[in-house]
Structure 1
Amino acid sequence: MISIRPAQALDLPAISALDSRITGSTKPDYWRDMLAPDRHFLVAETERGALAGFIAGEIRAWEFGQPAAGWVFAIQIAPGLRLHGVGSRLFEALVARFKEKGVTRVRTLVDRKDHLILSFFRAQGMVAGPSLQLDMDVS
């Protein structure tokens, strides 16, 4: 049984450890910033209280003339719990929070080469949106 709840400061070490294990990058300050009141940061935990995964996002309004939208910044699921619906439950819970705030669109950015996360978001019903990301190397 998996339960979903808002992330708390006590969850940050486990969140940071899971993210570091998957991405190879340690960023505790980033995760601490996700606890800001204007953000939506949820965790999934097992019956035993172990972290099963997390999702983070916020509502961003009126960038470049676009109406307010819910943005998903991050989602990670413990590798042993993937394909058990944890990610879908987290995504649905985040979307529900966005809807409660009156949002009618949900967006995210993905690396087009990251087939795992791209497949996940497509399975949630997401498709290419109206915006085009532009990028520039400034090194």
Structure 2
Amino acid sequence: MKLRSFQLSDVHDVLQIWQETAIYECEKETLTVLSEQLAIDRDLVLVAELENGRVVGAIVGTKDGECGFFYCLAVNPEFQKKKIGTKLVQALEERFVKKGVKRTWITVDEGTEKLLPFYKYLGYTNSCSTRLEKDLLTMEDRLIV
């Protein structure tokens, strides 16, 4: 298996993995992050590729100054528990370091809560216990003028 930067030809394989592992809303959000990151720096979008050319994992990283963020770490269910996710995270961390990143952040939501033990195993710690949000677009229907 080799880890490498994302190529446009990987899009179908990566989308398939996300469809099998992510909830629909997260999948749509990740596509947006993916396209934005590819326009900025495709070196922070990695895939895990088998010797036969099959892509079985992906991770999307972004950076803002000295802070790195990663989204949608996903591994094909057939290949989970084989250290592919660990290798993808480690490879992204190495690329972050080369780009001057000093701290990495991961947002865990209802679709990725199951990965908390995995992230803790990799040395990540909880910096907050809650994230609150409110969709203001739905309030327009309820406003009384």
TM class by shorter-chain length?
Answer: 0.7 to 0.9
Identity %: 28
Q: Please report how far the alpha carbon of residue 108 of structure 1 lies from its aligned counterpart in structure 2 after TM superposition.
A: 0.9
Report the AA paired with residue 14 of structure 2: I
After TM superposition, the structure 1 = structure 2 runs for residues 119-130 of structure 1, keeping only pairs within 5 Å, are 119-129=117-127
Gaps of 5+ in 1: 62-67
Q: Please report how far the alpha carbon of residue 80 of structure 1 lies from its aligned counterpart in structure 2 after TM superposition.
A: 1.1
Report the AA paired with residue 64 of structure 2: R
If the length of structure 1 is used for normalisation, what is the TM-score?
Answer: 0.82
Residue of structure 2 equivalent to 1:136: 134
The ranges of structure 1 where at least 4 consecutive aligned residues each deviate by more than 3 angstroms after the TM superposition are: 26-29, 31-34, 112-115, 130-134
Determine whether 1:51 maps to 2:51: no
- Quick check: which one's helix share is greater? 2
Residue of structure 2 equivalent to 1:18: 17
Residue of structure 2 equivalent to 1:8: 7
Residue of structure 2 equivalent to 1:65: none
Deviates more, 1:39-48 or 1:27-36: 27-36
Q: Give the superposed CA RMSD.
A: 2.3
Determine whether 1:91 maps to 2:89: yes
If the length of structure 2 is used for normalisation, what is the TM-score?
Answer: 0.79
Aligned length in residues: 132
Change (3 A) 1:18 1:95: same
Residue of structure 2 equivalent to 1:75: 73
Report the AA paired with residue 107 of structure 2: L
Task: Tell me which of the two structures has the higher relative contact order, counting C-alpha pairs closer than 8 angstroms and 6 or more residues apart.
Answer: 2
Change (3 A) 1:86 1:131: same
**Structure having the higher Rg:** 2
Report the AA paired with residue 55 of structure 1: I
